[in-house]
Structure 1
């Protein structure tokens, strides 16, 4: 072959190679719908324990095991993050894990544990029935959610009652307002929203710092159950919550009012499924089948019925009466103002924000 021909062939090969640079690999399609016989294979699921586990094991898992001839190994021993890190990327503890977005983002930042969102979509026939915001995490699909809000004791707060986000900082609530420790998933959205409302945007750390300082004195609690207890006892009169807990307390007869967060920044507390990248093809196929079933209109309605105030992400699900009576709707208008905080940014700046918050909360 002439030297000129060799150079031409080499050049063509180089150009062909460049044509593939930057092109994403096609998603691996393992599941296209329906049932299949898994031959008794084990499917590992990480989900919450206690009452939650009882509900899933009674109402949902047996049906899935029967339809797919598999055995679900249900791990209710949260937290998941240490288990993923201990096992390493190639040895995940579950094929599917259920997370709040805050904890999920920590795992996603720590290693190549999960398949990407486009691959999940490609393997979930019910994907087109799900509201767009359910995919915004970029890592998993959100199947249930509630909204962040402020709740207050109507009988202990004099009128005018709080009505705006900024009212949480009114002087009359000094020492009687409450929020969360830095490790709680409700911590970042509050201060990112405060930065948006009072400053230049959700990444305005200087405004976050001022909002934290202006909120003191404030009680700092560990989780939502403690917040509920303090509100019930009247030890605080206003606090950060999510609306599922609000409806539970209203159902119990507690005289509460609610302050919804600003339009466009109504952050959610989510239940989000991830799929582990490094599991067998069969277990991954079961993972997609399980998530597809969980996103179906039937399971979504039943999950909303038995869960503690969670809403559905399937567009076509009728809202159960126990939520509808409090004004919950499953419409495009109702979900239009939902906001999924940019947890990737938060994780990159977490050390600075946590040090700042803990110093302020400690009174320094």
Structure 2
């Protein structure tokens, strides 16, 4: 807290090649925050992530014009994850708000998220266009569908059911988020934060929000920082595995096991039926053995034995990997929890 006892907010704005809208949108955020001076103390931390256009020049000009604006430059493009981590480590405020510089989420969500964070004593508050009450406006169809399905996939994989794992517009309690040992370097940082927060039993709140690209679409062709949609889609799918990787292996293994057992049980039934059939017509003292019937059935349907046997072996492999990944996940979560606790104690 500051001397005035008002919450101190650090607004982190990662930027890469945003000369088209950086000055306009930073000034929009400044004007909004100035209207809340009676409620918050604040700063804006612009992370210029190695931009190749005039982003650095514009950002420096903004910092010269307003002492509440600071700029941190990456000499090269280190990607979104590293930009956000730089913002976390250089924020002075007790509450950190990460905004998308295109303001596809209105600047008004600063107050909404911060108030919810304080009101609920949460560790993280995240804006969600996919929960009830949220909206997606003017986002290209292909991008909207891919983003929606990635987040549904993550919601299925996660133990705690949230609606938006990939969004970066969030408010964080600095004391909490700076204890996280974050490793990812790009878009995956957002689901990584949620995953590690879940391990630590953090209080995570979602609020409905409008994701609106109406203004952003006016800059089509002028912005060089457009996200690589397919890359973010596949990285999102891979991020889904970090929540509960074992369910995918066990799910596939169980499905293959059922298929193999179906095939093998019918083969066993045919073999036993063959034993009974031949034993019924043989002379007294003659016996049609099980192995003989099995050999005849194999000669009749070798492909069934082959498919059933191979499927059974593959199913065992998937199930084994699933149980091993479950064990590894539990070890990782326990070690991460302990490591974070030791780190927090040492810092204190």
TM, length-normalised to structure 1: 0.22
TM, length-normalised to structure 2: 0.23
Report which of the two has the higher share of helix.
2
Q: Which structure ranks higher in relative contact order (CA pairs < 8 Å, sequence separation ≥ 6)?
A: 1
